[in-house]
C-alpha cells in the first residue's frame, strides 16, 4: 500500500465520502502538484479580516463586497478596504479616517470570538517554545514518518494556531480550502445535551474536486497537529478561527477531532495496527509531543503515554500548582516512563515563566521541611535549606498519606519574586520506547 493511501486511511476521511482519487492525484507524493492558497498579502482581498486601528483595535468580520462594519465612531464600507494595501487609511462614513492592517497572530487570537478562556498569546508562545520544534521540508523523493503533535483541549484555537505556525515549514503550501467542515467525530463519544448531530455520511460518493485535491495533499504532509476536544461547538469555533487567519494558510496543518482524547488514542492505535499489519496488541508510538489542557488532565496521562515516541515531551497546563502535584503523583504511582524536566509558572509581568521545584521528598525530620530530600538525593541539602528561607512565603507543602518511605510533596518557587495569575505548566519527557 502506498504512503498516500495509508495516510489517507489512518488520518480519516471528511464527513462526506469522496470518490477515489483521480489517477493524476494518486501518484507518488513527490510528483503531486496543487493549486495553492494565495499567500500574497500585499493587498487586501475579499474574504480577509483586518484590524481597524482606532482608539481601540477592532477585528472586522470577513470582508465582503457591499457590506460594512459599524464602529462607535462611524461606518467602514468593506469596498473601501478591499484592494487597498495594509496600513492605508480609509474614510469612515460619518467618522474620521482610520488606518487598517492585517492582524498579527497575537492580535487575532486576542480579538476573535471565544466560548472559553483562551491560552493567551504570550503563554501559547512559551508552551510552543518548550517543544523546541525544528522542522524542514524533506528533499524531493525523501520519505520519513511525519511529525505528529497531539493537543487535547482545543478551546478557541489559540495554541492550535501557534503550533500550526511552528510546523508550517515542514509542509508544502496547501491547495484551496474546501468549504465544508473537516472535523472528524470519534466513534462512541458521549454527545452534549445541546449538541446537534454531526454530518451524516452518505452511501453514494459525491464528486468534489476541491475536496479530492485537499485529501491528496493532506496524505503527503510531513507535520500534523491532532487537536481533540470533547465539545463539538468548541471544535467548530476553533476550526473557523484557524481558517480565518491569513486566508487559512495554516489550516492544512491541523486535524480537528471531537471526543475524549483516550478514545482518540485507542482509535488511532487500532487504525495504525490494521494498516501496518502489526501483530499482537501493540503499535509503534507515533506521537512526538502531547499537550494536555483540559479538566482532570492527570487522568489522561496513562492513555497518551503509550503512543508517545521516545524523547517526546508531555506538556500539561493546569490552573494551580497542586494539580501539577496530582500529575506527579499519578506518574509516580503508576511508574510511567516519564521524567520531569521542569514546572513553570505563567503570568503577567514575567518573561519565560518562573520555574518551580515540584517533587516528592523523603522526610528525614518531622519538623524541618528544609531537611526533606528526594530518595536519590545525597548532596545539596544545605543549599536547599538556604533556598527555603528565601522563598518560604511562597512555599506550598502538600501532605499526602505517608507512603512506606515517608514521602511528601513539596511545591515551591525556585527563584524570582512573587507574581500573580497565569497558571502552571508541567513538562515531562518520555524516556522509554515501551
Q: What is the pLDDT of residues 12-48, one digit of tens each?
A: 555 444 434 433 433 434 444 556 888 899 999 999 9
Instruction: Evaluate whether 269 touches 284 at the Cβ level (below 8 Å).
Output: no
Q: How far apart are CA 416 and CA 288, in angstroms?
A: 32
Q: Residue 434's pLDDT band (boundaries 50, 70, 90)?
A: low
Q: pTM of the predicted model, to two decimals?
A: 0.78
C-alpha cell at 267: 482509535
Asked whether residue 337 carries a pLDDT value surpassing 60, the answer given is yes
Residues paired with 330 in a beta bridge = none
Q: What is the mean pLDDT of the chain?
A: 80
Instruction: Evaluate whether 228 touches 159 at the Cβ level (below 8 Å).
Output: no
Query: Which residue from 105, 246, 108, 270 is spatially nearest to 177, judged by alpha carbons?
Result: 246
Q: How far apart are CA 160 and CA 167, in angstroms?
A: 11
pLDDT digits (tens, 9 = 90+) for 242-290: 999 999 999 999 999 999 999 999 999 998 887 766 566 678 899 999 9
pLDDT digits (tens, 9 = 90+) for 367-378: 444 444 444 443
| SS3 call for 149 | strand
Asked whether residue 366 carries a pLDDT value surpassing 50, the answer given is no
CATH of domain 51-101: 3.10.330
Q: Among all chains, which residue has been given the C-alpha cell 468534489?
A: 208
Instruction: Evaluate whether 168 touches 225 at the Cβ level (below 8 Å).
Output: no
Q: Residue 71's pLDDT band (boundaries 50, 70, 90)?
A: confident
Q: How far apart are CA 418 and CA 421, in angstroms?
A: 10
Q: Are the folds of 3-33+107-346 and 51-101 the same?
A: no
C-alpha cell at 193: 445535551
Q: What does the domain layout of the chain look like in residue ranges?
A: 3-33+107-346, 51-101
DSSP 342-362: EEEEE-TT-SS-EEEEEEEEE
Domain 3-33+107-346 CATH superfamily: Vaccinia Virus protein VP39 (3.40.50.150)
Which of 113-117, 192-196, 390-394 holds the top average pLDDT? 113-117
231, 233, 235, 238 alpha-carbon torsion, rounded to 10°: -140
Asked whether residue 291 carries a pLDDT value surpassing 90, the answer given is yes
Instruction: Write down the pLDDT at residue 102.
Output: 97
Instruction: Write down the pLDDT at residue 313.
Output: 98
Q: Among all chains, which residue has been given the C-alpha cell 482610520?
A: 98
**Element containing residue 292 per DSSP (H, E):** strand 287-292
How far is CA 75 from each of CA 54, 56, 79, 83, 311, rounded to the nearest angstrom? 12, 15, 12, 18, 54
pLDDT digits (tens, 9 = 90+) for 224-236: 999 999 999 999 9
Between residues 157 and 8, the one the model is more confident about: 157
Q: Residue 419's pLDDT band (boundaries 50, 70, 90)?
A: very low
Mean of pLDDT values over 59-87: 91
Mean of pLDDT values over 348-369: 58
Q: How far apart are CA 168 and CA 136, in angstroms?
A: 9
Instruction: Evaluate whether 366 touches 380 at the Cβ level (below 8 Å).
Output: no
Geometric angle at alpha carbon 236, from 9 and 257, rounded to 5°: 30
Q: What percent of the chain has pLDDT over 70?
A: 69
Amino acid at each position: 500500500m502506498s504512503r498516500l493511501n495509508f495516510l489517507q486511511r489512518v488520518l480519516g476521511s471528511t464527513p462526506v465520502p469522496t470518490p477515489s482519487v483521480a489517477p493524476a492525484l494518486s501518484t507518488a507524493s513527490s510528483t503531486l502538484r496543487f493549486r495553492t492558497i494565495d499567500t500574497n498579502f500585499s493587498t487586501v482581498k475579499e474574504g480577509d479580516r483586518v484590524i481597524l486601528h482606532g482608539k481601540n483595535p477592532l477585528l472586522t468580520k470577513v470582508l465582503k463586497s457591499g457590506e460594512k462594519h459599524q464602529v462607535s465612531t462611524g461606518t467602514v464600507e468593506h469596498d473601501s478596504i478591499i484592494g487597498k494595501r495594509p496600513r492605508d487609511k480609509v474614510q469612515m462614513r460619518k467618522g474620521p479616517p482610520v488606518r487598517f492592517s492585517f492582524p498579527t497572530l497575537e492580535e487575532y487570537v486576542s480579538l476573535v470570538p471565544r466560548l472559553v478562556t483562551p491560552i493567551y498569546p504570550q503563554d501559547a508562545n512559551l508552551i510552543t517554545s518548550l517543544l523546541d520544534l525544528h522542522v524542514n521540508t524533506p528533499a524531493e523523493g525523501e520519505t520519513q514518518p511525519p511529525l505528529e503533535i497531539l493537543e487535547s483541549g482545543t478551546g478557541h484555537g489559540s495554541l492550535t494556531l501557534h503550533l500550526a505556525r511552528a510546523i508550517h515549514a515542514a509542509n508544502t503550501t496547501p491547495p484551496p480550502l474546501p468549504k465544508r467542515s473537516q472535523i472528524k467525530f470519534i466513534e462512541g463519544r458521549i454527545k452534549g445535551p445541546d449538541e446537534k448531530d454531526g454530518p451524516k455520511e452518505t452511501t453514494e460518493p459525491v464528486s468534489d474536486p476541491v475536496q479530492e485535491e485537499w485529501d491528496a495533499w493532506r496524505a503527503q504532509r510531513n507535520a500534523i497537529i491532532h487537536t481533540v476536544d470533547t465539545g463539538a461547538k468548541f471544535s467548530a469555533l476553533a476550526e473557523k478561527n484557524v481558517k480565518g487567519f491569513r486566508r487559512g494558510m495554516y489550516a492544512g496543518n491541523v486535524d480537528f477531532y471531537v471526543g475524549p482524547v483516550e478514545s482518540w488514542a485507542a482509535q488511532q492505535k487500532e487504525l495504525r495496527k490494521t494498516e501496518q499489519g502489526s501483530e499482537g496488541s501493540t503499535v509503534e508510538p507515533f506521537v512526538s509531543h502531547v499537550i494536555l489542557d483540559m479538566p482532570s488532565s492527570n487522568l489522561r496521562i496513562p492513555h497518551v503515554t503509550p503512543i508517545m515516541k521516545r524523547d517526546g515531551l508531555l506538556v500539561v497546563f493546569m490552573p494551580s500548582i497542586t494539580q501539577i502535584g496530582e500529575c506527579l503523583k499519578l506518574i509516580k504511582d503508576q511508574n510511567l516512563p516519564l521524567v520531569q524536566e521542569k514546572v513553570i509558572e505563567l503570568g503577567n509581568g514575567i518573561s519565560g515563566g518562573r520555574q518551580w521545584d515540584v517533587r516528592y521528598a523523603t522526610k528525614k525530620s518531622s519538623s524541618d521541611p528544609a531537611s526533606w530530600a528526594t530518595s536519590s538525593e545525597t548532596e545539596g541539602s544545605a543549599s536547599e535549606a538556604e533556598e527555603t528561607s528565601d522563598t518560604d512565603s511562597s512555599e506550598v507543602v502538600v501532605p499526602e498519606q505517608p507512603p512506606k518511605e515517608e514521602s511528601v510533596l513539596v511545591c515551591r518557587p525556585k527563584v524570582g519574586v512573587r507574581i500573580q495569575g497565569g497558571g502552571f505548566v508541567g513538562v515531562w519527557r518520555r524516556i522509554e520506547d515501551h
